[in-house]
Structure 1
Amino acid sequence: MSFHANAATIIEAGQLSTDQQQIDENATEQNVSKTSAVSCANCLKEKAKNEKMHEQLFQRQEQMLAKIDELQKSVFALKEGHSLILSAVEKQFSSLGTNLDNKINELLNSNTALIDVQKDVQKSVNKFIGPDYSELKKMYSNCWDAAACHSDLAISDSASNNAALNKAQQKPGCLRKSVMVKHNGKNSGFCSVFAKMSIPNESFFYYEVTIVHKHFDFGMHIGFATKQMPLHSCVGCHEGSYAYDDNGKFLGGGALLDGTNGQQSTSAAGSTRDGASAIDGTPSLDVGDIIGCGVNRRVGGRITYTLNGKRLGSVSISANASSSELFPSVSLYWPGDKIEANFGPVFKHPQRLL
């Protein structure tokens, strides 16, 4: 009993051990299965999460690509706009350059036109205010011309005691030289002399003659003449010459003129040596008298005479004489007669436009 009982006990114990092992194995398998199931579930979750992340990344990538595409389009549009702007700017600058060149040319043309207008205005102004400084300086340096003087006349420098005139001698271009004229001939007869320079063509000219010595009531002619007049003729008696004589006559081209209108006179107020008649109210000349002779070519050409600053009358210049060079000129008839000219700028009786 004890042997068999022990053997049965051992067998039973072995069976129990086998059963327990099987149970343990089954439990282990179950645990492994549970663990595997949990792991699979976690894997599925991780996979799903990864797939979602990939999908989000893909969407972001698509969005970024879309943004890049938009940026590229914007850049292209900007380039196109920049090209258009550059083209427009170039056209604008080209247009501005052309317009600027045109404006500059217009200004240059306008400036040239203004200069021409200024010259015309200056000419017009000169007609009213007199010659410019260069002409004045030339006029005031005038004197009697020894080369255009009768052989019986003697020319000398001034002996005037006038303080103002003497002061003017100190100014350059205003020297009072060769202004005295004296008849040194043995016989009576008209002898003439011309000034060196002619009067301006388009302005006002004035000079004075003082009677220094005279013998009789006639024989002095004072005025203007062209160089065509012979030196043995007298001013006012030759064509193209005009004079006021010491017997109170206005003469022009050999005719007696009316000093109120410049026409040939038909009135008489006394006889003279040559049979001509003196104009009413015009005085004869005496020693010390100053005759003023002015030419105003700005108003059609008129010669005006004054005596000691008072107006005597005016005569018109003929068309031929107006277009010719006129020179201050005097004629003396009697030996010993003497005059002194004053060509400026300081006059005893200054006149502006007469």
Structure 2
Amino acid sequence: MNILLTGGAGYIGSHTAVVLAQAGHHVVLLDNLCNSQASVVTRIGRITGQAHPLEVCDVRETARVQHILRQYNIQAVVHFAGLKAVGESVQQPLAYFNANVSGAISLLEAMQAEGVRKLVFSSSATVYGQPQYLPLDEDHPTGAINPYGRTKLHIEEMLQDLAASDATWRIAILRYFNPVGAHESGLIGEDPSGTPNNLMPYIARVAAGKLPYLNVWGDDYATPDGTGVRDYIHVMDLAEGHRAALDYLNHSTLPCEVFNLGTGKGYSVLDMIQAFELATGKRIPFQVGPRRSGDVAACYADNQKAAMKLAWHAQHQLGQMCQSTWQFESGYL
């Protein structure tokens, strides 16, 4: 298939581009480069042995997106593009609703105009809000507790309404848990601009001496060691989940479905520090601070639906997540 990846030069988009290209698909990347670099596309090409077009464009440029869909005869879209930092969303909610919700509307209008009806949407486990039970399955009530999560939930609801209005759509909503790690080549990985918002790249930069210590936000949660527990999934397993979702949409009879992508296991912040130190031999100094607004104590997936319907299973262990992160980070010292 000819597949457009919005936000394709970003962390998850770049790894998914590799998986899709290696599965025989023709991949076109669209990115406004606000939190990514064009050089990533060259590195994707080194891994796949192919050149992949990059269109530097914002998804809110509806007419241009429509032209790109037509120009490359796009048959399916994977929508990654958007802002994704929980803390920043609390400080800048309008920017998040503009980029994420307006961006999704623009993309959908362009797709509808061009007759492209196949979409995989990059959503988030943040749509569940405070867990009422664990593990979180797809039927768990939604109730996002921060602006970032609410933008994802608004888009999910919009997609479900769109699918209800037109049964020719085939949409897979993928609720990610916590992507970490990097491609085994060390050529692509998570490389945020400025200070990282996510735990693993922050740990990696402390290990590299680029940051003095890790802030652990809260050690008084109702978890085994008091620190927040999350479901960390290797980015290559996540990328494989997108390939599986696209394959599924080719024969699905339902207009819209939701899938969790996680390992089903929870690790605390202190577990992650220990695992990284064990995998890399690097010491990670840390300081404990107060809880952050918008954080939950524990969050991990029930992934049985993805296993049954997508035939997808996470393959990578925590040590591999840490090792690949360090391989990517140390390549940029």
TM-score range, shorter chain: under 0.3
> Larger Rg: 1 or 2?
1
Of Structure 1 and Structure 2, which has the larger fraction of its residues in strand? 1
